[in-house]
Amino acid sequence: MDTMYITHPASYLHEMGVLHPDSPKRIDAISDQLIMSGVMPYIINCHSSSSASDKDILRVHTIDYLNYLRSHSPKEGSYYYIDMDTIMNYYTLDAAFYSAGVGLFAIDSVFNKHVNNAFCATRPPGHHACSNRAMGSCFFNNIAIAARYAISKYNLKRLAIIDFDVHHGNGTEEIFANDPSVLMCSFFQHPFYPDTKLIYSANMCNIPVEAYADGAFIRDIVSSKWVPAIESYRPELILISAGFDAHREDDMGQLNLHESDYKWITDILVNMSEKYSSNRIVSFLEGGYDMSSLGRSAVLHIRSLAKI
Ligand SMILES: [Zn+2]
């Protein structure tokens, strides 16, 4: 049983201008490090051609919002600014459908037991996207779309979403607040972008932390808050919003994690997946904007998933 690394060519075509930190080069930063570190031959490297359908998107987003994106998709060579962070080019909508679709392909792959777990290295990311709104470089909430697909297709009762991006996964929180079929666990720098109102509900274990918190502080949160919540919930599937922008070398945020912290957190989640979810984990790339630390962190995350 293996780990699958999934990309899609459309992830390279969606771009938001040369100065935007969410650049297509982020995918290469990860793939290059997987090759350089010697990990790539030990995992399944897959280019998926799966696109999400309207039905898949509409399990999470409103029809008005989907129509809004379709009607504002720009001509080739021009951009449409939803906000200063969230910009559509000619290829963005296709890339967003494929980015969500790769997640669904990964869900099927772990339930069909082709692999134990999977890392989806696609763009655009998703965890800021709300049911009716794009923001923070996110258009469709990929992890939420995958969660609703898995619940619907595989009749799941309990699924955990773990988010270790430096930013609050506000979209995911909004979509699943008070939904007993999902437990969400995260930490995030606060106060900080997106600065949306925090939603406190029984199924949310989202822990705000102050700037400059280090790996030891974060590990304590994982051990004392996340692990007891996951153990009592016993999820049948674990999904991860894997942002690597809490790394100390990533200027996007001011948390001080090291790549070894991502390995430590992933080891805990792999252990939980062995106990509760028949090894099933699907992880989604969210943030991570410093190319070197993004590549190194993602490689350790994937090594932990693959136990190599
Ligand atoms: Zn982020």
- 15-22 contacts at long range (C-beta below 8 A, 24 or more positions apart): 15/89, 15/91, 16/79, 16/86, 16/87, 16/89, 16/137, 17/79, 17/87, 20/85, 20/87, 20/137, 21/252, 21/289, 22/123, 22/124, 22/125, 22/137, 22/287, 22/289
pLDDT at 71 over 90: yes
pLDDT reported for residue 274:
98
Distance 227 CA to ligand 1 centre (A): 22
Give pLDDT tens digits for 47-57.
988 999 999 99
Distance 21 CA to ligand 1 centre (A): 11
Bond preceding residue 21 cis, omega within 30 of 0: no
Distance 112 CA to ligand 1 centre (A): 31
Fold type of domain 3-306: Arginase; Chain A (3.40.800)
Please give the angle made by the CA atoms of 146, 150 and 152, to the nearest 5 degrees. 120
Q: How far is the CA of 14 from the centre of ligand 1 (A)?
A: 18
Nearest CA to 289 out of 145, 165, 114, 151 is that of 165
Residues 6+ positions from 19 with CB-CB distance below 8 Å: none
Question: What spacing in Å lies between the alpha carbon of 206 and ligand 1's midpoint?
Answer: 15
If you measure from the C-alpha of residue 236 to the centroid of ligand 1, how many angstroms do you get, rounded to a whole number? 26
Residue 49: predicted pLDDT: 87
pLDDT in tens, 97-144: 999 999 999 999 999 999 999 999 999 999 999 999 999 999 999 999
* Percent residues over pLDDT 90 in the chain: 99
Domain boundaries, the chain: 3-306
User: What is the spatial distance between Cα 24 and Cα 53, in angstroms, rounded to a whole number?
Assistant: 24
H or E element in which residue 285 lies: strand 281-285
Whole-number Cα distances in Å, 41 to 2, 34, 110, 218, 260: 11, 9, 20, 32, 22
For 221-250, write each residue's pLDDT tens digit. Answer: 999 999 999 999 999 999 999 999 999 999
The rounded distance, in Å, linking the Cα atoms of 133 and 124 is 14
Q: What is the pLDDT of residues 183-209, one digit of tens each?
A: 999 999 999 999 999 999 999 999 999
The residues assigned a catalytic role are: 128
With CA atoms as reference, report the closest residue to 235 among 50, 48, 110, 80. 110
Neighbours of 281 (CB within 10 A): 27
Arithmetic mean of pLDDT over the chain:
98
> For residues 136 and 128, is the Cβ–Cβ distance under 8 A?
yes
Ligand 1 centroid from CA 187, angstroms: 11
Distance 269 CA to ligand 1 centre (A): 20
Q: What is the pLDDT of residues 264-275, one digit of tens each?
A: 999 999 999 999
Query: SS3 for 17?
Result: coil
So what's the pLDDT on residue 215?
Answer: 98
pLDDT digits (tens, 9 = 90+) for 272-306: 999 999 999 999 999 999 999 999 999 999 999 99
Q: How far is the CA of 254 from the centre of ligand 1 (A)?
A: 11
Give the pLDDT of residue 1: 62
Pairing of the two strands 159-163 and 238-242: parallel
Neighbour tally for 84: CB within 10 Å: 8
